[in-house]
Amino acid sequence: MEFLGSLFAAYSVIWIGIFLYLLRLTRRTRQVEDEIEVLRKQAVGPR
Amino acid sequence: MRLQNVCDRWLPWAAGCGMIIALYCIFLVAPTERDQGIVQRIFYFHVSSAWTAFIAFGTVAFTSGCYLWSGKERYDQVAQSAAEVGVLFCSFVLITGPIWAKPIWGTYWQWDPRLTQTLILWTIYVSYLMLRAFGGRDDLVRRWAAVLGIFGVIGIPIIIVSVRLLPGIHPAVLMTKEGTSGLPDPRMRLALYVTAFAFLLVFTWMVHLRTRLQRVADRIAMMQADLRAG
C-alpha cells in the first residue's frame, strides 16, 4: 500500500473541488434570489 | 416534460450514480498496475478530468463562435459557464498530475511539452474568466471574450499530438508512441471510460446550473438598469 497518501490526496482534491464549486453556485443562487426580492420591492414600491 | 425539467430532476442523480459506479470500477474492477502499484489509480480521475476540460473548452469555442455569428446572448452564457467549469477540471488535472508524478518521476513538475501546454491552456481560460469578471457586461467585452475562447481551443490538439511528436516524459494514454495500447487490461479501459462518462455527466450538470444562474443574473442586471433609467 505504498503511496496511499498520494492516492488519497488526489481523490480528495477532486471531491473537495466539486463540492466547493457546487457550494459556490448555491450561495450565488441565494444572492440572486435576494436581488430579485429587492427588485420586486422596488417595483411594487413602499406600502 | 421540458428538457430543463429533465435536467433539473435527473442530472444530479445520474451524475451521482455515475460517480459511484466509477469508483466501483476504479477500486474493485480495474486491477492494480504492476509497476506503479496503487498510485496508478490516480490515472482514472486525472485523465477523465483532462478529457472533461477539453470538452468544456471545446464547448466554449463552439458557443463563442455561435455567439459571434448570431449575437444571441444564450450562447455567450453557455460559453461563460463552460469556461468556468472547464477551468475547474483543468485545475484538477494540474493538481492531480504532480501528486501522481512525485512518486513515479521523483519530481512534482517537469517542463514537458504536454504539461507546459496544459498550463498555457489553463492560463488562457483563466484570462477569459478574468476578462468576464472585470470587463463588465459590455457587448465589446463579450465579443473579445468570445475571440479568446475560440483562440484558446487551439491548444487542445497541440496537447494531444505533443505526446507523440515532441520529446517528453509524459506517457501516452490510449496508444503509446510504439502504437500499442497504454492500457493493456480491458478492465482498466472499462474503468477509464466509465469514469470519463461520469465526469461528463457532472460537467453537464454543472454547466446547466451555472448557465441558468447566469441567465437570471443577466436578467436582473437588465432590470436594474431599466429601474435606474426610470
Cβ neighbours around A12 below 10 Å, total: 11
Closest CA to B43 of B54, B53, B32: B32
Q: Structural domain boundaries of chain B?
A: 10-30+39-229
pLDDT for the residue numbered B180 = 62
CB pairs under 8 A between A and B: 68
Cβ neighbours around B229 below 10 Å, total: 6
What digits encode the pLDDT tens for the residues B45-86? 999 999 999 999 999 999 999 999 999 999 999 999 999 999
Closest CA to B133 of B169, B68, B172, B87: B87
In the predicted model, residues of chain B with pLDDT beneath 70 are 1, 172-181, 230
Show the cell assigned to B69. Answer: 455569428
Task: In whole angstroms, give the CA distance from residue B193 to residue B180.
Answer: 18
The predicted complex's ipTM stands at 0.87
Q: Which residue of B has its CA nearest to A36?
A: B220
Contact A2 B202 (CB under 8 A): no
Contact B103 A13 (CB under 8 A): no
pLDDT for the residue numbered B8 = 80
Q: Which residue of B has its CA nearest to A23?
A: B206
Closest CA to B146 of B42, B227, B47, B69: B69
Can you name the residues that pair with B33 across neighbouring β-strands?
A: B37
Q: Which residue of A has its CA nearest to B32?
A: A1
